[in-house]
Chain A
Amino acid sequence: EAGVTQFPSHSVIEKGQTVTLRCDPISGHDNLYWYRRVMGKEIKFLLHFVKESKQDESGMPNNRFLAERTGGTYSTLKVQPAELEDSGVYFCASSQVGGLEAFFGQGTRLTVV
């Protein structure tokens, strides 16, 4: 069974540009999460989808970040326009309904220059 996959694995963009990250959760997992780790700091929760609905987006840093999960399958996280402080590793995770552990993807390393 395929795990959580994220695309791209790395992205380098200039300040002011737009970047879209994609996450494909484990098939059948209704819960999907986005997290971010800024260099050397904690991994921080961004938001949580249940199917296509945003259940909790309390961790989204500002309105430059937009997450979608149309159809309740894969999810995208768009940063527009990107700022230097957005650099970090963005993790996606998924879990079953009622599942206790979340399964993480390998992350997307975003560098804004």
Chain B
Amino acid sequence: AQSVAQPEDQVNVAEGNPLTVKCTYSVSGNPYLFWYVQYPNRGLQFLLKYITGDNLVKGSYGFEAEFNKSQTSFHLKKPSALVSDSALYFCAVRDPSGYALNFGKGTSLLVTP
């Protein structure tokens, strides 16, 4: 069975500082990994994905994520946080042979001025 874990319920960062939102996964085989973001009163927005290739994936709004197979991690990062990055972030995994996404429980990111 596939699953992802987001060990932090909340991450607090000062504006301008780098941010990391952690995600680890458990799958058999090669996973498809995704990050989504939910801003207040909005739907889930796709940020980035890892399918294959370069372990560092760049996505929307200056976010990037690093796929680490040995540590089974897919942490989301941004070099300089903005207050507007404050939102709920979800990591998800998908079996390449299927379509359903398995989500983590989400991490609330709060960026303070």
The reply to whether the CB of B63 lies closer than 8 angstroms to some CB of chain A is no
User: Interface size class for chain A?
Assistant: 20 to 34
- The reply to whether A33 and B99 contact each other, CB–CB distance below 8 Å, is yes
A45 touching B100 in the complex, CB below 8 Å, given contacts A100-B49, A104-B36? yes
Specify the main secondary structure of chain B where it touches its partner: strand
Interface residues on B, range: 20 to 34
Q: Do A105 and B43 touch across chains, with their CB atoms under 8 A apart? A: yes
Q: How far is the CA of A33 from the CA of B98 in the complex (A)?
A: 12
Q: How far is the CA of A35 from the CA of B38 in the complex (A)?
A: 14
Q: With an 8 A cutoff between CB atoms, is B103 at the interface? A: yes
Interface residues of A (CB under 8 A from B): 3-4, 6, 31, 33, 35, 40-45, 48, 55-56, 59, 91, 93, 95, 100-107
18 additional contacts (CB under 8 A) given A42-B105, A91-B43: A4-B43, A35-B101, A42-B103, A42-B106, A43-B103, A43-B106, A45-B100, A45-B101, A45-B102, A48-B99, A48-B100, A56-B98, A56-B99, A100-B32, A100-B49, A101-B49, A104-B46, A105-B43
Q: Beta-carbon contacts of B36-53 to A below 8 Å, as 1s and 0s?
A: 100001111110010100
CB–CB B44/A104 < 8 A: yes
Q: List 7 A-B contacts (CB under 8 A).
A: A6-B43, A33-B101, A43-B90, A93-B44, A103-B46, A104-B43, A106-B42
Q: Tell yes or no: B31 within 8 A of A by CB.
A: no
Residue among B99, B102, B105 making CB contact with A31, cutoff 8 Å: B99
Give the complex CA separation of A48 and B101 in angstroms: 11
Q: Closest A residue to B46 by CB, please name it.
A: A101
With a 10 A CB-CB cut-off, give which of B44, B92, B98 has the most chain A CB atoms: B44
Give the CA-CA distance A102 to B45 in the complex, in Å.
9
